């Protein structure tokens, strides 16, 4: 990053006498806001890395290559690799139906898609225990056929899917609604079939939003704690995902090791935010370009 | 719903409506609706009296008070400071602004367990901030109700900032120019022109932060201390019941939380509708 | 290719967009669908294209019922109001799109596509923009690229939705002339939708005037302008002065004032709307005259060779405003001053009985 990141040019509000405040008001607001930000967001983030390295680099890496840690990383990756593509396909299908067509009950459908956001992760885990657990609806049948959902990978995947259910759809719906139907109609008039229209016209228009939705979905799937902790059974070396492994280490007072694994998750979060910022930058550039073109 | 939905749709040359909507509904039902339905059906095992006894047990009621009280307080704190942060990010230029802007979303991306142990490390009696706050000021943060509040503030901050920010960005400078030309002082302009426009978004952000905080688990349990009657949150009560294999008891508390969440969701939808109408952004 | 639409009905909920519309579009003509917004003209265009489905009625392309033919197979070229250029593709790729989407066995090869695209870009005089993206083009250039893209699939008809609507006045004028010239070269049956009467009069071979989902009149520009069939058409094409009056003897009475008329088809005593164009009114300053409509001069505007006099009605026509167009010498001869009372005498007056006129009059 260049120095331009640090010295931002003044905003249109600062250049306008009617929308700017006196210097002391301005710097007080900035001061309070940035202090609050530092206290509640920046310091916890720094704490993760400082605590992880407290006992030295050797302990840090030893904690990461520990067999249980490696297994938890593997399990987390597998669960996300199943959950994210499923939610990706769902998100695209839902956004296509909602953004490109008019039908009754659309608003209700959007609300239902948002529903998982407002359900406590603990309740998500509970739901699946009630359906697939030993005493659940399909419990007896599953035991009979020697299938395990709860305290096994399928349960972890299901919980991850539920928790990250709305992310891709949520990113795409407003984007595709804003783009309207005209370009797709133009493609159809020019003889393209449905698949060609989606692939050559719709997808290029939504790729950045799609990417961001997938990245965020992935970060949340890998980091989910509450829901997964209910369905996983936390069997060390078997059904422990990374966040659960962090918890176990922490409760065993292996703080440095806990923070070491946590730091991987924090890095994932940072990468997610970097990609997000980059995507937003791309979208902004594209918008600026198209408005400049129109006014020339 | 699917049948009437298909019947009511207008002609459209784009293909794939039946397939995409059908897939959406099936997937939604399997992943979300049926499992949630299981929670409600399971409570039918209890008589009304049993249900009432479970959900009004003193320890559970104490957890409601903490969960709702701390969530409300955290959402209120975020409404004030989140507004300031959004204002600073949109209106002012200052060093490091882009990094602050990018990191505001951290609570969305950082796993809650990581946030939980990080906050605990900071606010524990021997932590960076904890030793000062507890040692000098005598206030106990971690392992008590205040710890819960701190974790919920962390979780809710981006909701307020990210709902207010776009509205602030879209605000026409002409409005404030007009107010200034009519003789309004800066504070009056903010109070009578800008704030009313921001209000629906601010309330929406507040409600979203509140809804998220009530259900939050991962970031809270490490810092809360989980002392019965003092610092146990409601989601923890569900976990406790589950660990005792009291599934119906867990389910009863879950139903109370779900009903509350759905109610909040309704309010949030109403607020967003109001916000859209007020700012003229239809849908 | 000729197009016929027969008894087309279309509603959106309780709103009637098209009410039993039947029209003939002969082969090779350039036709304008003209009317105010909400009159159903765009809906009709989209139904012809196959982008919208009529509730009842048929569309015949070359005499064949096209109702069951998908847009993809109708071979229509459609130019969208906001062009709908694919933002992520270059101008070249936009124009090539239709050819590249064809099934493999009928798809031209890349060399053929390349030649065809350049031919089309030459036709619209924008070959030098082939590698640009739509965002880098001006509005007028985008419009012409959209047209080239529509022509690339060799459509049998060309449909244009408000083709000049999003352009500024100067570019709009240029493009109008250019479109007319292009049509004279290609002779492809074309229909365009517009709400701008000047545009329709200047470009089209034939104009279809629509209002409230109904066809008001069909004819050449001269016919519809010179002989409006309904009060709506009279009011919509060009500026006009309207009098509410009653026919008695050989005069139309507007309150206490009377103007002579020679239309014998209208029964004595009927209530009428009387129309006169601004250049069809004469201003009489002689205070002894008693015929014509009494009016007060409000102001005189002069630009170029002609002048416009704005007047307010007095007596029977109180509260009404009139406009008279005169040449500069005429205005000088009259030496009008603001506040002066004069009389207006129409040299030509078009009458419509009020019952038949219905509610069609807007202006």
Q: Mean pLDDT for chain C?
A: 87
* Residue C297, strand partner residues: C311
Q: Which C residues, 25 through 64, put their C-beta within 8 Å of a C-beta on chain B? A: 50-53
Distance from CA of B91 to the nearest CA of C (A): 29
What does each of the 296 residues of chain A score in pLDDT, given as a tens digit? 344 444 456 777 887 777 888 889 999 999 999 999 999 999 999 999 999 998 889 889 988 888 899 999 999 999 999 999 999 999 999 999 999 998 989 989 998 998 898 899 999 999 999 999 888 888 888 888 888 888 889 999 999 999 999 999 989 998 899 888 899 999 999 999 889 999 999 999 899 889 989 999 999 999 999 999 999 877 777 888 999 999 999 999 999 999 999 999 999 999 999 998 998 888 777 777 665 544 43
A185 in contact with C, Cβ within 8 Å = yes
Distance CA A205, CA C86 (A): 9
Distance CA C344, CA B61 (A): 88
B271, with CB counted inside 10 A (0-12, 13-18, 19+), is buried
Distance CA B152, CA B212 (A): 9
The reply to whether residue A47 touches residue B38, judged by beta carbons under 8 angstroms, is no
C209, with CB counted inside 10 A (0-12, 13-18, 19+), is buried
Residues ≥6 apart with Cβ < 8 Å to B268 = A118, B204, B207, B208, B211
A16 in contact with B, Cβ within 8 Å = yes
Q: Which residue of C has its CA nearest to A188?
A: C72
Distance CA B268, CA B252 (A): 25
Q: What angle do CA C113, C115, C116 make, to 5 degrees?
A: 65
Coil, strand or helix at C33: strand
CA atoms within 13 A on the CB side of C182: 19
The reply to whether residue B179 touches residue A42, judged by beta carbons under 8 angstroms, is no
From chain B, the residues in CB contact with C8 under 8 A are none
Q: Could you write out the three-class secondary structure of chain A?
A: CCHHHCCCCCCCCCCCHHHCCCHHHHHHHHHHHHHHHHHHHHHHHHHHHHHHCCCHHHHHHHHHHCHHHHHHHHHHHHHHHHHHHHHHHHHHHHHHHHHHCCCCCHHHHHHHHHHHHHCCHHHHHHHHHHHHCCCCCCHHHHHHCCCCCCCCHHHHHHHHHHHHCCHHHHHHHHHHHHHCCHHHHHHHHCCCCHHHHHHHHHHHHHHHHHHHHHHHHHHHHHHCCHHHHHHHCCCCCCCCCHHHHHHHHHHCCCHHHHHHHHHHHHHHHHHHHHHHHHHHHHHHHHHHHHHHHHHC
Distance CA B129, CA C110 (A): 68
The reply to whether residue B113 touches residue A32, judged by beta carbons under 8 angstroms, is no
Whether the Cβ atoms of residue A207 and residue A171 lie closer than 8 Å to each other: no
φ/ψ (deg, to 5) at A160: -65, -40
- Nearest Cα residue to C231 out of C268, C274, C267: C274
Burial C163-186 (b: 16+ CB within 10 A, else e): bbebbeeebbeebbebbeebbeee
Whether the Cβ atoms of residue C262 and residue C254 lie closer than 8 Å to each other: no
Share of chain B above pLDDT 90, in %: 55
* Residue C324, strand partner residues: C309
CA distances from C154 to C46, C74, C149, C158, C231 (A): 19, 11, 10, 10, 40
Helix and strand totals (H; E) in chain C: 11, 20
- pLDDT for res B281: 53
Task: Write out residues in chain C with pLDDT < 50, as ranges.
Answer: 357-363
Please give the order of strands across the beta sheet that includes C189-194: C76-79, C157-161, C189-194, C30-34, C206-211, C214-219
Q: Which residue of B35, B83, B128, B220 to mutate against A (max A Cβ within 10 Å)?
A: B35
Whether the Cβ atoms of residue C297 and residue C339 lie closer than 8 Å to each other: yes
The label of the residue with tokens 């505001």 reads B104
Whether the Cβ atoms of residue C218 and residue C206 lie closer than 8 Å to each other: yes
φ/ψ (deg, to 5) at B233: -90, 165
Q: Residue B173 is nearest to which of A16, A165, A220, comparing CB atoms? A: A16
Distance CA C243, CA C293 (A): 10
Residues C334-349 pLDDT 10s:
888 888 888 888 888 8
Give mean pLDDT, residues B97-117: 93
CA distances from C320 to B34, B169, C208, C310 (A): 69, 47, 30, 11
- pLDDT for res C287: 80
From chain B, the residues in CB contact with C71 under 8 A are 13
Whether the Cβ atoms of residue B258 and residue B36 lie closer than 8 Å to each other: yes
From chain B, the residues in CB contact with A48 under 8 A are 114, 117-118
CA distances from A154 to A69, A80, B210, C147, C307 (A): 20, 12, 31, 54, 84
CA atoms within 13 A on the CB side of A78: 15
- pLDDT for res C361: 42
- pLDDT for res A140: 84
- pLDDT for res C317: 62
- pLDDT for res B141: 83
Q: Residue C49 is nearest to which of A189, A191, A296, comparing CB atoms? A: A189
Q: What angle do CA B233, A33, B120 make, to 5 degrees?
A: 35
Whether the Cβ atoms of residue A170 and residue A95 lie closer than 8 Å to each other: no
A278, with CB counted inside 10 A (0-12, 13-18, 19+), is middle
What sign results for the dihedral spanned by CA atoms A244, A249, A252, A256?
A: negative
Residues B133-191 pLDDT 10s:
887 888 888 888 999 999 999 999 999 999 999 989 888 888 888 888 887 888 888 88
The label of the residue with tokens 């006992």 reads A55
- pLDDT for res C316: 63
CA atoms within 13 A on the CB side of C323: 15
Distance CA B255, CA B259 (A): 6
Distance from CA of A57 to the nearest CA of B (A): 19
Distance CA A136, CA B247 (A): 10
For chain B, report the end-to-end CA distance as a whole number of angstroms: 21
Q: Which residue of A4, A25, A33, A258 to mutate against B (max B Cβ within 10 Å)?
A: A33
- Nearest Cα residue to C143 out of C107, C179, C169: C179
Coil, strand or helix at C216: strand
CA distances from C171 to C78, C137, C178 (A): 21, 13, 10
Distance CA A252, CA A258 (A): 9
- pLDDT for res A5: 44
A272 in contact with B, Cβ within 8 Å = yes
* Residue A66, strand partner residues: none
- pLDDT for res B229: 87
- pLDDT for res B112: 94
* Residue C301, strand partner residues: C308
Residues B4-22 pLDDT 10s:
333 345 677 888 899 999 9
Evaluate if residue B282 carries a pLDDT over 50: no
B96, with CB counted inside 10 A (0-12, 13-18, 19+), is middle
Residues ≥6 apart with Cβ < 8 Å to B2 = B21, B22, B25
Question: Where would I find the beta strands (DSSP E) of chain C?
Answer: 3-12, 15-25, 30-34, 56-61, 64-65, 76-79, 157-161, 189-194, 206-211, 214-219, 241-248, 251-254, 257-260, 271-276, 281-284, 293-303, 306-313, 321-327, 341-346, 350-353
Residue A288 burial (CB count, 10 A): 11
Mode of pairing for the β-strands spanning C214-219 and C189-194: unpaired
The reply to whether residue B180 touches residue A17, judged by beta carbons under 8 angstroms, is yes
The pLDDT-based confidence of B230 (bands split at 50, 70, 90) is confident
Q: Please give the helix or strand (H or E) that residue C186 lies within, else none.
A: helix C169-186
Share of chain B above pLDDT 70, in %: 94
Q: Which residue of B109, B112, B164 to mutate against A (max A Cβ within 10 Å)?
A: B109
* Residue C193, strand partner residues: C33, C161
- pLDDT for res B52: 92
Q: Which residue of B has its CA nearest to A45?
A: B118
Q: Which residue of B24, B122, B251, B252 to mutate against A (max A Cβ within 10 Å)?
A: B24
Q: What is the pTM of this model?
A: 0.83
Whether the Cβ atoms of residue B134 and residue B221 lie closer than 8 Å to each other: no
- Nearest Cα residue to B93 out of A258, A5, C342, C196: A5
What are the sequence ranges of the domains in chain B? 13-45, 49-279
Q: Which bin fits C202, alpha (ψ -120 to 50), beta or left (φ > 0)?
A: alpha
CATH class of B49-279: mainly alpha
φ/ψ (deg, to 5) at C341: -95, 130
CA distances from B126 to A36, A51, A223 (A): 22, 13, 27
Q: Mean pLDDT for chain B?
A: 88
Distance CA B37, CA B155 (A): 28
Chains adjacent to C (≥3 CB pairs closer than 8 angstroms): A, B
- pLDDT for res B5: 36
- pLDDT for res C346: 87
A246 in contact with B, Cβ within 8 Å = yes
The interface predicted TM-score (ipTM) is 0.88
């Amino acid at each position: 990053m260049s120095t331009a990141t640090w010295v931002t040019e003044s905003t249109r509000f600062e250049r306008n006498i009617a929308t700017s405040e006196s210097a002391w008001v301005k710097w007080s607001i900035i001061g309070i806001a940035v202090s609050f930000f530092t206290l509640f967001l920046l310091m916890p983030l720094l704490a993760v890395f400082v605590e992880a390295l407290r006992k030295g680099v050797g302990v840090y890496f030893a904690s990461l290559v520990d067999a249980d840690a490696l297994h938890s990383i593997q399990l987390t990756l597998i669960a996300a690799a199943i959950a994210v593509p499923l939610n990706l396909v769902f998100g695209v299908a839902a956004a296509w139906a909602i953004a490109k067509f008019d039908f009754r009950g659309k608003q209700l459908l959007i609300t239902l898609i948002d529903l998982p956001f407002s359900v406590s992760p603990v309740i998500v885990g509970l739901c699946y225990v009630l359906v697939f657990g030993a005493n659940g609806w399909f419990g007896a049948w599953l035991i009979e056929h020697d299938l395990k959902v709860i305290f096994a990978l399928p349960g972890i995947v299901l919980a991850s899917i539920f928790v990250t259910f709305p992310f891709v759809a949520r990113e795409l719906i407003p984007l595709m609604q804003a783009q309207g139907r005209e370009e797709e109609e133009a493609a159809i008039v020019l003889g393209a079939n449905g698949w060609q229209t989606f692939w050559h016209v719709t997808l290029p228009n939504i790729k950045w939003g799609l990417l961001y939705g997938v990245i965020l979905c992935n970060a949340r799937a890998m980091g989910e704690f509450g829901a997964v902790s209910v369905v996983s059974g936390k069997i060390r070396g078997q059904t422990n995902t990374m966040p659960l492994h962090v918890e176990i280490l922490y409760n065993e007072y292996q703080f440095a090791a806990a923070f070491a694994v946590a730091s991987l998750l924090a890095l994932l979060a940072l990468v997610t935010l970097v990609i997000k910022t980059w995507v937003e930058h791309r979208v902004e550039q594209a918008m600026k370009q198209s408005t400049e073109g129109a006014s020339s | 719903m699917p049948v009437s939905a298909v019947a009511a749709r207008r002609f459209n040359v784009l293909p794939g409506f039946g397939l995409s909507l059908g897939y959406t509904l099936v997937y939604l039902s399997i992943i979300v609706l049926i499992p949630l339905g299981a929670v409600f059906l399971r409570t039918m095992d209890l008589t009304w009296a049993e249900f009432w006894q479970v959900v009004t047990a003193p320890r559970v009621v104490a957890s409601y008070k903490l969960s709702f009280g701390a969530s409300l307080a955290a959402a209120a704190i975020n409404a004030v400071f989140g507004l300031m942060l959004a204002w600073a990010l949109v209106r002012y230029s200052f060093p490091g602004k882009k990094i602050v802007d990018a990191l505001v979303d951290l609570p969305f991306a950082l796993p809650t367990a990581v946030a939980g142990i990080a906050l605990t490390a900071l606010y524990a009696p021997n932590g960076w901030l904890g030793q000062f706050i507890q040692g000098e000021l005598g206030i106990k943060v971690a392992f008590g109700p205040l710890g819960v509040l701190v974790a919920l503030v962390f979780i809710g901050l981006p909701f307020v900032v990210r709902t207010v920010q776009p509205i602030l960005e879209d605000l026409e400078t002409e409005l404030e120019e007009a107010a200034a030309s009519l003789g309004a002082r800066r504070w009056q302009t903010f109070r009578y022109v800008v704030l009313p426009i921001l209000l629906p978004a601010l309330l929406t952000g507040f409600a979203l932060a509140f809804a998220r905080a009530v259900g939050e688990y991962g970031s809270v349990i490490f810092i809360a201390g989980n002392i019965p009657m003092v610092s146990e949150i409601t989601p923890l009560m569900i976990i406790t019941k589950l660990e005792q294999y009291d599934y119906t008891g867990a389910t009863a508390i879950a139903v109370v939380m779900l009903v509350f969440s759905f109610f909040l969701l309704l309010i949030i939808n109403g607020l967003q509708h109001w916000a859209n109408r007020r700012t003229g952004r239809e849908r | 290719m000729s197009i016929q639409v027969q008894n087309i009905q279309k509603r959106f909920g309780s709103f009637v967009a098209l009410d039993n519309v039947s029209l003939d579009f002969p082969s090779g003509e350039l036709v304008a669908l003209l009317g105010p917004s909400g009159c159903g003209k765009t809906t009709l265009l989209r139904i012809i294209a196959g982008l919208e489905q009529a509730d009842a009625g048929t569309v015949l392309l070359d005499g064949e019922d096209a109702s069951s033919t998908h847009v993809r197979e109708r071979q229509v070229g459609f130019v969208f109001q906001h062009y709908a250029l694919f933002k992520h593709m270059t101008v070249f790729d936009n124009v090539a799109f239709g050819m590249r989407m064809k099934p493999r066995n009928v798809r031209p090869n890349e060399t053929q596509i390349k030649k065809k695209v350049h031919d089309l870009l030459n036709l619209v005089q924008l070959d030098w923009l082939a590698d640009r993206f739509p965002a880098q083009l001006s509005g007028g250039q985008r419009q012409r690229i959209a047209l080239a893209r529509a022509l690339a699939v060799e459509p049998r008809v060309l449909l244009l939705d408000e083709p000049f609507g999003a352009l500024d006045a100067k570019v709009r004028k240029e493009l109008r002339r250019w479109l007319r010239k292009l049509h004279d070269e290609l002779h492809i049956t074309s229909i365009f939708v517009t709400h701008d009467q000047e545009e329709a009069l200047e470009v089209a071979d034939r104009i279809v005037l629509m209002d409230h989902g109904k066809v008001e009149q069909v004819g050449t520009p001269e016919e519809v302008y010179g002989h409006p069939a309904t009060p709506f058409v009279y009011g919509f094409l060009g500026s006009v002065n309207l009098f509410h009056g009653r026919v008695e003897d050989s005069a139309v009475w507007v309150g206490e004032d009377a103007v002579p008329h020679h239309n014998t088809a209208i029964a004595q005593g009927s209530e009428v709307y009387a129309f006169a164009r601004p250049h069809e009114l004469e201003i009489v300053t002689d205070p002894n005259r008693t015929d014509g409509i009494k009016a007060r001069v409000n102001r005189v505007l002069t630009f170029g060779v002609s002048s416009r006099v704005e007047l307010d009605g007095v007596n029977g026509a109180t509260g009404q405003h009139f406009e008279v167009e005169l040449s500069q010498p005429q205005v000088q001869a009259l030496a009008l001053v603001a506040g002066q009372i004069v009389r207006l005498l129409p040299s030509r007056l078009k009458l419509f009985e009020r019952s038949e006129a219905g509610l069609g009059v807007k202006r």
